[in-house]
Structure 1
């Protein structure tokens, strides 16, 4: 049943003769613990309660009520964890040197204790530049 993983489905489940219908994305199929995780609310449903699963018909996929867009508020990065998260989540970063804009809405490729490498390969020092991150708000 791993072919359902990552797909939007309608899952019918229940016990004692009562069947309920839940719609969402099948996030995880755990053969060891014998349950399935259905997103976006991350519902854990035991295998023994699953009656059957069907694919969501084409065109009926869940639409985001809040589409992702950049947060208008930026945060100055100073902690190494902030740089790590910016790289991991591919966040938009604006780079300043004093009052001069160096790069706008770029992504970071990597960083060390002293330097940051941008996606275009440019290396900038953390000490001489100000890195402002803007997160995505909403759902992708």
Structure 2
């Protein structure tokens, strides 16, 4: 049951009829033989649990990795190489105008960047901000 710790789940359990509750598995209390479900720190005895289901069925939502809130302006060729290799989230700005949000770079050379949607953008006319993944 340790694989559920930290994940958002739906717990189906018996309590004067079948009940279900949603929350995040905070920990397992092996002395009381119960599962602690947040945010209300509800204790559910192991013997009453009939099934535990992940709250999100989409594999992208099950990942613990999240986009980091801090972005970095790409200026170096290696930064562009890494953005292509890791398919990092890239935001493109032209001055104060947002051109692309949460896009990715397909390729680049010394002067131009080709986005995954096919747009060819000049490095000197646009600002490219990369956000990396944080987590496991």
State the TM bucket, normalised to the shorter chain.
Answer: 0.5 to 0.7
Q: Is residue 74 of structure 1 aligned with residue 71 of structure 2?
A: yes
What is the deviation of 1:91? 0.2
CA distance in 1, matches of 2:68, 2:84: 17
What SS is found at the alignment partner of 2:125?
coil
Give the alignment partner of residue 104 of structure 1, picking from 97, 101, 110. Answer: 101
What is the deviation of 1:95? 0.1
What is the deviation of 1:110? 0.1
CA distance in 2, matches of 1:89, 1:138: 15
Q: CA RMSD in A?
A: 1.0
Give the alignment partner of residue 122 of structure 2, picking from 120, 125, 128. Answer: 125
What SS is found at the alignment partner of 1:78?
coil
Runs of 4+ residues deviating >3 angstroms: none
CA distance in 2, matches of 1:87, 1:137: 17
Question: TM-score of the superposition, structure 1-length normalised?
Answer: 0.52
Question: TM-score of the superposition, structure 2-length normalised?
Answer: 0.54
Give the alignment partner of residue 86 of structure 1, picking from 77, 83, 88. Answer: 83
What is the deviation of 1:68? 0.4
What is the deviation of 1:86? 0.4
Alignment correspondent of 1:137: 134
